[in-house]
Chains A and B, each alone.
Chain A
Amino acid sequence: MGVTILTQFALENKTGPQTVEVLSKRICALGAVQQGHFLVDCETYTSVPQLGHQRTVHVLHNSEQPATVFSLLDNGTKITALATDGLFDLLMMKMSQFYTSKKQTKAESKGLRYEIGDFYVKLGTVTVSSNYKGILVEVEYRPCVVPAMCWDLLKEFLQGFLGLTAPTNPPTYLQNRMQEVYTPIDTIHQYLEHFTMFRKSPGIYRN
């Protein structure tokens, strides 16, 4: 487990599959080897009105940590994170009288996973309730766990295959946590930020 940066990517006049193909060619030209697939999904539950002020529970799964369920509880002012075993999903079903699932907002990012030296690259196609929304690129630098120590390296690597549209600043979520030890839940926070943006966007989201 290293430090992961998640960023949206779009190309003018190109569809999702075309964009993924361009990126895949670029990354393979750099020497990347395809290593299977990946999937990150998010389901959102909201509290029933009788429970008082509205709270939202986002339940996420990441194929990189297949035995874990990540939950982010948003009470409007802060987000509380929880990591549990897989049976948490079963518990959410039992809680359906208190927290109801908003099926039309189910978001996922899935696609191919590549390995290139110390980096993992994942090219994800994002859908919200099966509607295509855009492309999310995930890059993980594995030998380091402190974002501040490897941000410049990650930035340069991202520029190497995303070109000028690569991010110039760390993701908002990471900006206040640059000196802290990076853990899998931080990746989940980043995915949720992007999924929320995609859900709000009316059609295909472009940078």
Chain B
Amino acid sequence: MSLPGNAMDSLSAALKCNIIPNQEYLLQGSVLDQYVEVLLHRLRGLCDNVDSGPESFHDHEICFSLRIPNTAASTPMPMSIFSLRVRRALDVSDTPYQLRYIGQQELGDKNRPTVVRSSIDMACSSTILEFLTELGCRIEFEYIARGYMFRKGRMKITVSKIFKMGGNKPESVEPISQSYLVELSVLAPSGQDAIGEDMRIFAEQLRPLVQLEKIDYKRLGNIM
């Protein structure tokens, strides 16, 4: 057995070699409830997991944020905000919780086919909720997502219904709209822009059932 390396050194080495999948390439769209079956049918035909059928999921996601006032006068934002998301499966017990950091979307080039944003995704123990609260985070919002996941190569396609939290009972949840959210995403190390082109081609194949687009969050007025 060789000498165990320092964890931080191996992380820096991994960063240098650019092997950490820390960029998310994303396209989003939506489909009305009455047409979702048609879309699912189309996806079943196009995606890899044909035999096993689509994988269903039922997740609860909570978004936390850390905020501190910005003291430097030069910065345009009055607050520094750091968001973290925690996701857990409601339909499968004993799976680890997922902790996720999503960075600001890169402005980049207008011709780039997808949104690119930094993303750090990891499994964690169930103590994460208490840990984040103690860390000084507060809950921004939470929701329940239920739907199907498909794969095509390294692309991931999710079709999910988003529900508002209705008190403490999971049965009393209420859908937020009469449509499904459709997301096409890939997690990859930075600089692999070719994947954006593959995603654009795949998105083309889903038209006109669903129009997957680069969503500009700033235009939606969200504080990211």
- Residues on A lying within 8 angstroms of B by beta carbon are 35-39, 41, 43, 47-48, 50-52, 55, 57, 61, 63, 66, 69, 71, 73, 75, 80-91, 94-95, 97-98, 108, 110
Q: Which residue of chain B is the closest to A34 with respect to CB atoms?
A: B1
Q: Are A55 and B136 in contact (CB under 8 A)?
A: yes
Given A87-B20, A87-B121, A90-B22, A52 and B136 contact (CB-CB distance below 8 Å): yes
Q: Which residue of chain B is the closest to A53 with respect to CB atoms?
A: B136
Cβ proximity bits B76-111 to A, threshold 8 Å, 1 near / 0 not = 000010100000000000000001010100000000
Residues of chain A within 8 A (CB-CB) of B66 are: 51, 95, 98
Q: Which residue of chain B is the closest to A97 with respect to CB atoms?
A: B80
Chain B residues within 8 Å of chain A by Cβ, number:
34
- Residues on B lying within 8 angstroms of A by beta carbon are 1-8, 11, 15, 20, 22, 66, 68-69, 71, 80, 82, 99, 101, 103, 120-125, 127-128, 130-131, 134-136
Choice from B3, B121, B128 contacting A82 with Cβ under 8 Å: B128
Closest 4 CB pairs of A and B: A36-B1, A63-B4, A85-B122, A61-B7
Q: Are B122 and A87 in contact (CB under 8 A)?
A: yes
> Helix, strand, loop or mixed for chain B's interface?
mixed
Residues of chain A within 8 A (CB-CB) of B15 are: 90
Q: Are B131 and A94 in contact (CB under 8 A)?
A: no
Kindly count the residue-residue contacts between A and B in the assembled complex, taking CB atoms under 8 Å apart. Answer: 101
Shortest distance from the beta carbon of A31 to any chain B beta carbon, whole Å: 20
Q: How far is the CA of A110 from the CA of B5 in the complex (A)?
A: 11
Q: How far is the CA of A98 from the CA of B137 in the complex (A)?
A: 11
Shortest distance from the beta carbon of B66 to any chain A beta carbon, whole Å: 5
Choice from B1, B8, B68, B125 contacting A84 with Cβ under 8 Å: B125
Q: Are B120 and A98 in contact (CB under 8 A)?
A: no
Shortest distance from the beta carbon of B5 to any chain A beta carbon, whole Å: 8
Given A35-B1, A82-B125, A88-B122, A51 and B68 contact (CB-CB distance below 8 Å): yes
